[in-house]
Amino acid sequence: MDAKIVVNKLRKHFNALPVVDGVDLSVADGEFVAIVGPSGCGKSTLMKIVAGFEQPDQGEVLIDGARVTRPSPKGIVISQHGSVFPWLTVQQNLMFGLNEEHKDHAALADHYAAMVGLKGFENAYPHQLSGGMLKRVEIARALVVKPEILYMDEPFSALDALMNLKMRNELLRVLGEERHTVLLITHDVEEALYLADRVMVLSPRPTRIQASFSIHQPHPRKLSSPEMQQLKEEILGQLGL
């Protein structure tokens, strides 16, 4: 398989504080990779660099072999607190990233609204929606522009526990309809195990990749199965628990 994202010897300091200390990683096209690590380890910084929002001090990020210097609609970030525009309706939010190259914006928006279960809410404003619905808007808004990569930074951690579980299944269902390469950052080991093809464990700051686990179980996965429990133990062990 071709590598979609390649990260080479990435280093980043903030003043004298080293945050990212030589991360190498490669994500195949269509692969779902989860990165777990202790809080404050530099996960989010790593994600910002990979998505092009911050520049590394050393090393580089390549997408399809081209060096990343700034963000692009090729890879859309979905983060914990979300960035659905509160002053636009659901439909206007979904059409936000579309330009002249796209035909019939409203139809595209409605198609993705229906895909994530927002049919009938096209004209609602975000403050009229629940947290879970907002997350759906954000995911749909990303999908509308047909990104090749989704960067998800703790996407569901602001949701309540039940909605968190529900959104995992929703995400898998949507990815079943349209395959994207996904880089997920999370502190939730079970979330990573449930969703990802591969789980990478980051060390405490300055962070580097400490271990990597491939998960071959088919979806839908049962986290209570012995294999998954075994993997969870190993990953938690890597995190020092």
Partner 1 sequence: MEKLNRIWPPALVLAAIVAIWWVTVNVTESVIFPTPAQVVSGTLELVEDGTLWEHITASLMRVGAGFALAVLVAVPMGLWMGRVDGAFRTFNPVFQILRPISPIAWIPIAILWFGVGDASPVFLIFIASVFPMIVQTAAGVHTIEKRYLRAAENFGVSRSRLFRQVIIPAVLPEIIVGMRIGLGVAWLVVVAAEMIALHSGLGYLIIDSRNAGNRYDLVIAGMIIIGLIGLALDGLMRLLEGLKQVRWRYGR
Q: Residues touching partner 1: how many (CB under 8 A)? A: 25
Length of the chain counted residue by residue: 241
Among 86, 120, 220, 237, binds partner 1 (CB under 8 A): 86
Strand partners, 3: 28
Strand partners, 75: 149
What lies within 8 Å, CB to CB, of 160 at 6+ separation is 131
Among 41, 76, 133, 174, binds partner 1 (CB under 8 A): 76
Contacting partner 1 within 133-152 (CB under 8 A): 145
Stretch that binds partner 1, among 3-11, 24-32, 85-93, 212-220 (CB under 8 A): 85-93
Find the shortest distance in angstroms from Cβ 143 to partner 1: 12
Stretch that binds partner 1, among 20-28, 86-94, 114-122, 177-185 (CB under 8 A): 86-94
Output Rg (C-alpha) for the chain, integer angstroms: 18
Whole-angstrom CA distances from 121 to 136, 151, 156 are 11, 25, 21
Among 20, 36, 47, 51, binds partner 1 (CB under 8 A): 51
Contacting partner 1 within 160-189 (CB under 8 A): none
The closest of 16, 81, 70 to 44, measured between CA atoms, is 81
Decide if 155 contacts 10 (C-beta within 8 A): no
Nearer to partner 1 by C-beta: 116 or 193? 116
Among 37, 42, 56, 126, binds partner 1 (CB under 8 A): 126
* Burial class for 105, CB neighbours closer than 10 Å (0-12, 13-18, 19+): middle
Decide if 18 contacts 206 (C-beta within 8 A): yes
Binding string, residues 188-207; x marks residues near partner 1 by CB under 8 A: --------------------
Nearer to partner 1 by C-beta: 51 or 201? 51
Q: Which amino acid belongs to residue 127? A: H
Kindly list the residues in this chain that would bind partner 1 in the complex (CB under 8 A): 51, 53, 70-73, 76-77, 79, 81-83, 85-88, 92, 96-97, 99, 125-128, 145
